[in-house]
Amino acid sequence: MSDAAAQPMLEVRDLQVRVGGQIVLKGVSLAVRAGEVHAIMGPNGSGKSTLAYVLAGKPGYEIVSGSVSFEGRDLLALAPEERARAGLFLGFQYPVEIPGVNNAYLLKTALNAARRERRLPELDAFEFLALVRSKTQLMHIDESFLGRGVNEGFSGGEKKRNEILQMLVLEPKLSLLDETDSGLDIDALKVVANGVNSLRSPERCIVLVTHYQRLLDHVVPDFVHVLARGRIVRSGDRTLALELEKRGYDWITEQAAA
Amino acid sequence: MSVPATAVRASILDRVLRDFASVAGGLPGDAAARARAAARLTELGWPSVRDEQWRYANLRAFEHLGAFRPAAGGTLDTELPAAVPGFERLIYLDGVQITGHHRLQDEPAADNSVASHVWPAEQRLGLLCDMFASDAARLTVRGEAAIEILFVSSGRAGAGAVYPRLQLQLQPGSHLRLIERHLGHAAAPALVACNLTVELGRAAALTHYRLQQYGHDTVFADTLWARLAEQARYTVRSVAVGAGTARTSALVQLAGRAAALAWQAIAVGRGEQVHDIALKVEHSAADTSTEELFRGIADERARVAFSGHIHIAASAPGSQARQSLRGLIEGAGAEIDLRPRLEILTDEVRAVHGATTGRLDEDLLFYMLARGIDRQTARALLKWAFLSDVLREIELPGLRAEAERLAAGQLQDVLAVGALS
């Protein structure tokens, strides 16, 4: 293993975050290396989505202490768009609808912004269409969706598939997927899982934020962390997720509180 | 020393009447009708911002006008937009027809309500045009037609005022697509006072595209009255970006059973522009319907106001009214005033109204930033999206492109990032 590979791509150290006067993350530490898939699980209100939002740079979250580095850069010093262009992708739990902004236009603008950052030539309309077509097929998304407003009138499942489509087109180094499995039926879950798996590679890492372990049957994580009351209270391999599925979260949060 | 508002109003009215007295004898057409209009304006007085209907109008702009007499001697010194395929074009220069086949008849028929409409107090600026206009686009439509009317102000218009006038009658069952465009020489500091009267016969349909793109030194007073007979349909798609001060006073009467109005409008202001639209819809027959869609953006120090007053009379059971009014404040000194008002005097009515004013939605902005799109582009795309509800309803591709170009011209960041492409 080379030195570079040994360094975490994402390193969160003792992160404390305040939202609306309350400390929601109380010292979270996490190291994710290239090629790894991590799952962050936890009960509702444990701070999972807060962690995802803070990493992506959503305004309204106050960093009380701690640090986050991404490929050696201070992630918290970057604006949200700079984080995205650096290779971080947030798959939203509740993707917004933006009527009037064309899906394909958004995606092409985003892709070309990322390509400029990587000093690659921008794609023209034909090249873009060829690229995006192959991804829509993989995600079982009708091509006509590209011509519609972003997520406009999409069902919950379609919105989630559209998030993964965007991820596949943008090819981020770090994908943070916030409850991407929620609201999906079993067929849609498989499609989404296939999409996520297609992006697994030694150069990328994926962090799945999820309440349930069923996604993890299809996207098998290397590590599982349990976030409860703002702290990672236990880490393990995929068997931890199976145990949580059997026993729920109470035992582990009680142990942590004891 | 400050001058009392009543004195200012009296002095504007005095100037209007003085100019009228000096030119009335030389104006063509029905002198008695002009005199009646002058008498009525005298009786009503000049409007005041203390009146609710005029509260957001920039009446102060009228104080700075040089003259109310009609401009004369202008030449066509403005670049005209490309023709719209399938539409017959009529051009009016400084309110007088210079091209097109539909020629004015000087005297309106006595029973012609579109020519003899009496403006109510909230539309009293319509009287200016009745007093001073020397020509009219007077159209009677049978069957199907597609007409584009360009009202163009010349560089000479500043020496006087411009009075475009359109009187339109659709015979029962007829169908008209009408493009009405207002444009002018950039350096024409003038009053443009425009009157439109529209009468739709039984089951007639009018789709009316309105594009207003005067220069920022123009004061535009726009007065519209329409009456719809049974099953008539009137669709207005309006894009207002021009004039330093623009006031639309519109009254639509749904007089026949199942008459329907759709009013879809955008106004985009920047600099010191004031756009004020007051639309009153009167439902007086059963099963009538109104759908209002307004999107306004105020950038820099602009003010945009929309008053949507829908009155559903006791004689109009089964009526429907839907209002969706949204304003976007972009500038630190900008202002948006949206006033939905439903007045319902009967049961069995379905009415929905919503009015929201605010800044760009932070969640939408964050979503785009999280995709790596820079802040300026994201903001421009969202502003553009805000107008899309109305712009996408313009189904004529060339005209929609023109409307988009005009709207984008008001939003410099939209142009800069090429959100139009």
Report, as an integer, the average pLDDT of B210-236: 96
The pLDDT tens digits for B149-172 are: 999 988 776 678 999 999 999 999
Q: A101–B385: do the CB atoms touch at under 8 Å?
A: yes
Return the SS3 of B342. strand
The pLDDT tens digits for A76-107 are: 999 999 999 999 999 999 999 998 888 999 99
Q: What is the pLDDT of residue B167?
A: 93
Q: What is the pLDDT of residue B106?
A: 40
CB-CB neighbors (< 8 A) of A109 in chain B: 373, 377, 381
Residue B107 has pLDDT above 50, yes or no: no
Report, as an integer, the average pLDDT of A206-232: 93
Q: What is the pLDDT of residue B189?
A: 58
The pLDDT tens digits for B11-26 are: 899 999 999 999 988 8
Q: Distance between CA atoms of A241 and B272, rounded to whole angstroms?
A: 61
Report the 10 Å Cβ neighbour count for A179. 21
pLDDT band at residue A19 under the 50/70/90 scheme: very high
Q: CB-based contact (8 Å) between B377 and chain A? A: yes
Closest by Cβ to A56, choosing from B370, B381, B387: B370
Residue B394 lies in a domain: yes
Contacts of residue B346, defined as CB under 8 A and 6 or more positions apart, other chains included, come to B312, B313, B314, B315, B316, B317, B319
The pLDDT tens digits for B51-66 are: 888 888 888 898 888 8
Q: What is the pLDDT of residue B211?
A: 97
Q: What is the pLDDT of residue B101?
A: 57
**What average pLDDT does the structure give for chain B?**
90
Look-up: residue for tokens 């947030």? A90
**A54, A96, A102, A175: which to substitute to probe chain B, counting the most B Cβ within 10 Å?**
A96
Q: What is the pLDDT of residue A245?
A: 86
Q: What is the pLDDT of residue B420?
A: 53
Domain edge (last residue) among B256, B288, B307? B256
Q: Distance between CA atoms of A245 and A181, rounded to whole angstroms?
A: 15
Q: What is the pLDDT of residue B3?
A: 61
Q: What is the pLDDT of residue B65?
A: 86
Q: Do B42 and B190 fall within a single domain?
A: yes
Q: CB-based contact (8 Å) between B365 and chain A? A: no
Are A41 and A57 contacting, i.e. CB atoms less than 8 angstroms apart? no
Residue B48 lies in a domain: yes
Looking at CA atoms only, how far is residue A163 from chain B in angstroms?
10
Please give the residue of chain A at the shortest CA–CA distance from B369.
A81
CB-CB neighbors (< 8 A) of B377 in chain A: 109
Q: CB-based contact (8 Å) between B380 and chain A? A: no
Phi, then psi, of B108 in degrees rounded to 5: -70, 150
Closest by Cβ to A84, choosing from B364, B372, B381: B372
Q: B381–A106: do the CB atoms touch at under 8 Å?
A: yes
Instruction: Compute the 3-state secondary structure of chain A and give helix, strand, coil in percent, each to the nearest 5.
Output: 40, 30, 30
The pLDDT tens digits for B171-197 are: 999 999 999 999 987 776 589 999 999
CB-side exposure of A131: number of CA atoms within 13 Å? 19
Closest by Cβ to A110, choosing from B364, B373, B375: B373
Residue B100 has pLDDT above 70, yes or no: no
Residue B344 lies in a domain: no
Percent of chain A at pLDDT > 90 equals 73
Which of A34-43, A197-206, B104-113, B392-401 is least confident?
A: B104-113
Q: A109–B387: do the CB atoms touch at under 8 Å?
A: no
Q: What is the pLDDT of residue A239?
A: 92
pLDDT band at residue A249 under the 50/70/90 scheme: confident
CB-CB neighbors (< 8 A) of B388 in chain A: 99-100, 149
Report, as an integer, the average pLDDT of A15-38: 95
Using alpha carbons, select from A175, A134, A142 the residue that is nearest to residue A161.
A142
Q: Mark out chain A residues that contact chain B at CB-CB < 8 A.
A: 56-59, 79-81, 83-85, 89-90, 92, 95-96, 98-101, 105-107, 109-110, 113-114, 117, 149-150, 166, 170
Look-up: residue for tokens 């996604």? A215
Closest by Cβ to B367, choosing from A96, A109, A114: A96
Domain encompassing residue B196: 5-256
Report, as an integer, the average pLDDT of A220-237: 94
Closest by Cβ to B373, choosing from A81, A89, A95: A81
Q: What is the pLDDT of residue B109?
A: 46
Which of A65-79, A241-255, B104-118, B143-157 is least confident?
A: B104-118
pLDDT band at residue B104 under the 50/70/90 scheme: very low
Looking at CA atoms only, how far is residue B294 from chain A in angstroms?
15
Phi, then psi, of A239 in degrees rounded to 5: -65, -25
Q: What is the pLDDT of residue A2?
A: 46
B7 versus B335: which is more confidently predicted? B335
Please give the residue of chain A at the shortest CA–CA distance from B375.
A81
Q: How many helices (H) and strands (E) does chain B have?
A: 8, 19
Q: What is the pLDDT of residue A190?
A: 92
Residue B79 lies in a domain: yes
Name beta bridge partners: B341. Answer: B309
Residue B262 lies in a domain: no
**B368, B374, B390, B417: which to substitute to probe chain A, counting the most A Cβ within 10 Å?**
B368
Residue B184 lies in a domain: yes
pTM for the model: 0.85
Q: What is the pLDDT of residue B28?
A: 87
Are B263 and B239 contacting, i.e. CB atoms less than 8 angstroms apart? no
Q: CB-based contact (8 Å) between B394 and chain A? A: no
Q: A84–B369: do the CB atoms touch at under 8 Å?
A: yes
Are B224 and B248 contacting, i.e. CB atoms less than 8 angstroms apart? yes
Percent of chain B at pLDDT > 90 equals 68
Q: What is the pLDDT of residue B389?
A: 84
Q: A81–B363: do the CB atoms touch at under 8 Å?
A: no
Report, as an integer, the average pLDDT of A216-241: 93
Return the SS3 of B398. helix
Looking at CA atoms only, how far is residue A84 from chain B in angstroms?
5
CB-CB neighbors (< 8 A) of B366 in chain A: 58-59, 80
The pLDDT tens digits for B294-340 are: 999 999 999 999 999 999 999 999 999 999 999 999 988 999 999 99
pLDDT band at residue A50 under the 50/70/90 scheme: very high
The alpha carbon torsion through A38, A43, A46, A52 (nearest 10 deg) reads: 40
Q: What is the pLDDT of residue A217?
A: 92
CB-CB neighbors (< 8 A) of B386 in chain A: 100
Q: B375–A149: do the CB atoms touch at under 8 Å?
A: no
C-beta contacts of B338-342 below 8 A and 24+ residues apart: B338/B294, B338/B296, B338/B305, B338/B306, B338/B308, B339/B305, B339/B306, B339/B307, B339/B308, B339/B309, B340/B308, B341/B307, B341/B308, B341/B309, B341/B310, B342/B310, B342/B312
CATH fold of A3-257, please?
Rossmann fold (3.40.50)
Q: Do B220 and B85 fall within a single domain?
A: yes
DSSP H or E run through B281: strand B274-283
Looking at CA atoms only, how far is residue A57 from chain B in angstroms?
8
Domains in chain B, number: 2
Instruction: Write down the domain spans for chain A.
Output: 3-257
C-beta contacts of A159-164 below 8 A and 24+ residues apart: A159/A95, A160/A91, A160/A95, A160/A184, A160/A188, A160/A192, A161/A188, A161/A191, A161/A192, A161/A195, A162/A95, A162/A103, A163/A91, A163/A92, A163/A95, A164/A91, A164/A139, A164/A192, A164/A195, A164/A196
Residue A1 has pLDDT above 50, yes or no: no
Q: What is the pLDDT of residue B158?
A: 62
Q: Do B20 and B160 fall within a single domain?
A: yes
| Largest pairwise CA distance in chain A | 60
Domain edge (last residue) among B256, B279, B308? B256
**A101, A128, A167, A168: which to substitute to probe chain B, counting the most B Cβ within 10 Å?**
A101
CB-CB neighbors (< 8 A) of A84 in chain B: 369-372
The pLDDT tens digits for B128-152 are: 999 999 888 889 999 999 999 999 9
CB-CB neighbors (< 8 A) of B372 in chain A: 81, 84-85, 110, 113-114, 117, 170
The pLDDT tens digits for A65-77 are: 999 999 999 999 9
Q: Distance between CA atoms of A181 and B393, rounded to whole angstroms?
A: 36
- ipTM for this prediction: 0.95
Residue B111 has pLDDT above 60, yes or no: no
Q: What is the pLDDT of residue A196?
A: 94
Residue B421 has pLDDT above 50, yes or no: no
Q: CB-based contact (8 Å) between B315 and chain A? A: no
Q: Do B242 and B379 fall within a single domain?
A: no
